[in-house]
Amino acid sequence: VSGAVAQINLQGPRSRELLARLTDNDIGEDAYPFRTFAELSIGYARVKCARITYVGELGYELFIPTEQTVQVYEHIRATAAEHGIALQHAGLKALNSLRMEKGYRDFGHDIDNTDELAAVGLTFTCDWAKPGGFRGQHAADAQRSAPKTSRLVQVLLEDPHPFLFHGEVVKRDGVALGTVRSGSYGHSLGGAVGLAMVTAPEGASVSPAWLRDGSWTVDVA
């Protein structure tokens, strides 16, 4: 996104239905699978469209020439109204809340280049069978197979009133083992949600059983 390009997202279970009424291009499941990036005609504009979601639902990101953005936006609203598709305007705070509920990572906030793929739950993003391998694969393989001493985990507060931001201390059985890296409010879940990096004490590993058997608390200011 720049001074030349604006972005409008269509997210939600009826986003494909709406987009199909906006363009003559085939956006069906087979023709437009997840992570497809192509150019579509919407109204009078040529729009670059990525089928991607950051909210846990079907969705599309539209990248529009700035001078045509208002026309595309008004076309979207008129088409939705014509076909009885209720639109809800939502900004980045709503998107952040929804992605937190889903546990989607945000590079630069929850994770960075010092984190291991295995520790942040992203080993599925690697092509482990890539011919010739990839740079760093030997180290990543070793990390993937080793017991996890640190792990990025989701946090949900049982008390619906406090809010999470970042930096809150996470404790297991009263012992501080990590901090919340980013937080928001999970309106679908009825409480504040966050992603926290926790590190097991020496001699232990962060396994499902270790996470399940502990008594967890978060220090909220």
Residue 64 has φ and ψ, to the nearest 5°, of: -120, 135
- State pLDDT tens for residues 152-189: 999 999 999 999 999 999 999 999 999 999 999 999 99
Nearest Cα to 178, choosing from 163, 162, 157, 194? 194
Whole-model pTM: value is: 0.84
Please say whether the beta carbons of 105 and 151 come within 8 A. Answer: no
- State pLDDT tens for residues 200-220: 998 899 999 999 999 999 999
